[in-house]
Amino acid sequence: MEKSSQIRKLIIAAAVVVLAVLFVGGFAKGKDMMYHLVNRGALGPLTRADIQYQNVDAPMATSNDGTVNANDWKELYPYIVTTMGDNKKNDYVVSYLEQDPYLVNIYEGYGFAKDYGSARGHEYCLEDVSKTQRPHAKANCLTCKTPNMAKLVNDMGVGVYSMSFDEVMSLMEENVSCYTCHGNDAGNAGKITITHSYVQKALGENMAAIDPATLSCGQCHIEYYFTPADSETMMPYHSVAEMTPEAILAYYDSIGFSDWTQESTGAKLLKAQHPEMETFLSGKHAALLNCADCHMPIEQAEDGTVYHSHLLVSPLENETLLSTCAECHGDTDMVQMVHRLQDRVTARETEVGNKLAEFNDALADAVQKKTLSETKLDEVRKIYREAQWFFDFCYVENSEGAHNSELSFHCLDTSEAKIEEGMKLLGN
Ligand code: HEC
Ligand code: HEC
Ligand code: HEC
Ligand code: HEC
């Protein structure tokens, strides 16, 4: 009796030890093991480890400029080509000018006051740039729309940027496509190649600090400007540390850059573009995830092929991506969590945007009635430029706070403080 109870105790003790080792081991392995425990059960969401990467020679290019296009890759990567084409499904557009009428006032005198709709899928890039009401005399507007523009610049140099829009447009064959993010090297395990030459020019060796999958999007989803000298597309910084709204503003100030001078206020203003990468890189996920992790679900086709879907979706609208959030966010309802955060950011945007429009009116009024000296007006114009920049940096970022809510609120608070400072100088 004694003996068998001792054996039983031993067996239980051994089992406890084994379980403890497994458990501690799980935590020691960290992220990966937690993922399996929380979420995966036996199988769970697919990861990069499930993809069978291939090394194949690039097919013959059928394009006029030597870029291997989506159709050329179709036989080798049917699912990637098809899902990329599915970006056509993302065709929903809202007019920001109707949604937020205060913008008409803020952007007065610039193209965006006439026509400013939300973005849609990559398959509409060339169509949308052709039919926008905003003026575009030069080819540099094509930089972020098509691989054929990147190839032309790579072949012929930066002179291409100042060629006529219509002339270069007639040479363009595809919307954002394989060459944009892989060069002609997509067959080499889908290796990322940065084909937009200004990224290398601006960041140089500091490119290595950014995950290639993130930088592939960061060729376009960034703040950029056209150099006054030769209309070249350029990023306003040289490192990740300089990707803040403060540092970018200081850079534009240092080179005396503005996008337009507003007639009513005489202010030299900046138009932020879509600083998704900059915003993301100072956010909470920067060290943990890349853009593809949240916008390109890993899927399995019926024949068993596992691949990154190239249909770029909102993670909130995709069950596969939502299940990957659980790895770190547990059973939080992510759709609700993100929407709440976006609602707070949007409400604050409306509040500060309306104040900025009032500031704009007050400044225009002071300019018209000459209630202040030119020197004083210039001081207010500079404050207005800054208030507008910080507001815009948040407003135009496409995640509405989801990528980095701290930065969104920081930009809006800074803008508001400058508005108050300027209004005081105007005697309001
Ligand atoms: C906007 C950028 C972009 C475009 C355009 C693009 N890719 Fe990709 N591609 C990526 C990213 C990002 C990954 C994932 C990299 C990673 O694992 O982090 C990827 C992965 C791949 C892979 C590796 C296998 C896999 O499923 O992860 C292949 C092969 C590939 N792409 C082929 C193509 C082909 C062919 C095209 C054109 C039809 C194309 N890509 C267009 C960005 C792009
Ligand atoms: C060559 C430039 C370029 C690259 C590279 C690029 N994009 Fe885009 N992206 C655009 C443009 C331009 C639009 C807007 C198209 C339109 O509205 O006609 C867009 C639109 C989008 C949209 C739709 C936005 C909406 O409001 O519906 C998403 C999502 C997106 N991109 C994600 C990505 C991700 C993720 C990557 C990297 C894997 C990437 N993009 C790489 C230029 C680019
Ligand atoms: C942690 C996940 C995550 C990462 C990583 C991430 N995003 Fe997002 N992104 C989101 C969420 C959440 C939204 C809001 C989606 C919505 O409102 O439906 C969003 C929205 C967007 C949008 C607007 C799309 C739309 O449909 O309105 C674009 C464009 C975008 N992200 C690009 C990027 C780029 C480029 C990167 C990398 C620099 C990136 N994202 C990294 C989660 C992420
Ligand atoms: C690898 C771990 C990890 C994954 C996967 C992950 N997150 Fe996060 N997320 C974090 C961490 C860490 C924070 C910061 C938490 C904090 O500060 O309280 C965070 C914060 C956030 C925030 C708040 C950001 C802000 O700036 O306020 C949002 C929104 C978010 N995550 C959305 C998502 C979505 C959507 C997904 C899935 C598509 C996702 N996350 C996947 C780790 C992760």
Dihedral of the alpha carbons of 224, 225, 227, 230, in degrees to the nearest 10: 90
CA distances from 243 to 277, 385, 386 (A): 9, 19, 16
Per-residue pLDDT tens digits of the chain, which is 428 residues long: 455 556 565 555 555 444 444 443 333 333 333 333 334 445 678 999 999 999 999 999 999 999 999 999 999 999 999 999 999 888 888 888 889 999 988 998 888 888 888 888 999 999 988 887 666 679 999 999 999 999 999 999 999 999 999 999 999 999 999 999 999 999 999 999 999 999 999 999 999 999 999 999 999 999 999 999 889 999 999 999 999 999 999 999 999 999 999 999 999 999 999 999 999 999 999 999 999 999 999 999 999 999 999 999 999 999 999 999 998 999 999 999 999 999 999 999 999 999 999 999 999 999 999 999 999 999 999 999 999 999 999 999 999 999 999 999 999 999 999 999 999 999 98
- Give the pair of three-digit tokens for residue 371: 């209630």
Query: Which pLDDT does position 428 carry in this prediction?
Result: 83
Can you tell me which atom of ligand 3 is nearest the CA of 398? 23
User: How far apart (Å, rounded) are the C-alpha atoms in residues 240 and 234?
Assistant: 15
Query: Which pLDDT does position 6 carry in this prediction?
Result: 61
308 lines ligand 1 (CB under 6 A): yes
User: How far apart (Å, rounded) are the C-alpha atoms in residues 83 and 79?
Assistant: 6
328 lines ligand 4 (CB under 6 A): yes
User: What does residue 268 show for φ and ψ, rounded to 5 degrees?
Assistant: -90, 110
Largest CA distance in the chain: 105
Can you tell me which atom of ligand 4 is nearest the CA of 294? 38
- Tell me the best of 144, 192, 293, 298 to mutate to test the pocket of ligand 1, counting ligand atoms within 8 Å of each CB and taking the most: 192
Distance 125 CA to ligand 2 centre (A): 9
Packed helices 374-395 and 405-425: angle between N→C axes, nearest 10 degrees: 160
DSSP state of 5: H
Q: Do the strands 298-300 and 306-308 form a parallel or antiparallel pair, or are they unpaired? A: antiparallel
Query: Which pLDDT does position 45 carry in this prediction?
Result: 84
User: How far apart (Å, rounded) are the C-alpha atoms in residues 169 and 86?
Assistant: 23
Helix extents (H) in 298-398: 319-329, 334-369, 374-395
Query: Which pLDDT does position 161 carry in this prediction?
Result: 96
Distance 278 CA to ligand 4 centre (A): 17
CB-count burial class (<10 Å; 0-12, 13-18, 19+) for 316 = middle
Query: Which pLDDT does position 277 carry in this prediction?
Result: 98
- Tell me the best of 278, 325, 348, 410 to mutate to test the pocket of ligand 4, counting ligand atoms within 8 Å of each CB and taking the most: 325
Query: Which pLDDT does position 4 carry in this prediction?
Result: 55
DSSP state of 239: S
Query: Which pLDDT does position 25 carry in this prediction?
Result: 38
Packed helices 334-369 and 405-425: angle between N→C axes, nearest 10 degrees: 20
CA distances from 143 to 195, 196, 263 (A): 11, 8, 29
Protein residue with its CA nearest to atom 26 in ligand 4: 404
pTM: 0.91
User: How far apart (Å, rounded) are the C-alpha atoms in residues 206 and 130?
Assistant: 34
Kindly provide the residue ranges of all beta strands, DSSP E only, lying in 243-327, ordered along the sequence.
260-261, 268-269, 298-300, 306-308
CA-based R_g, the chain, Å: 26
Dihedral of the alpha carbons of 374, 393, 177, 214, in degrees to the nearest 10: 130
Give the residue from 8, 54, 235 showing the smallest Cα distance to 143. Answer: 235
- Give the pair of three-digit tokens for residue 345: 């950011």
Protein residue with its CA nearest to atom 43 in ligand 3: 294
Ligand nearest to the CA of 329: 4
Ligand nearest to the CA of 39: 4
HEC string for 382-395: HHHHHHHHHHHHHH
Query: Which pLDDT does position 316 carry in this prediction?
Result: 97
Specify the DSSP element, H or E, that contains 234: strand 233-234
- Tell me the best of 345, 403, 404, 407 to mutate to test the pocket of ligand 3, counting ligand atoms within 8 Å of each CB and taking the most: 403
Query: Which pLDDT does position 5 carry in this prediction?
Result: 59
197 three-class SS = helix
Give the residue from 58, 57, 40 showing the smallest Cα distance to 49. Answer: 40
Distance 123 CA to ligand 2 centre (A): 9
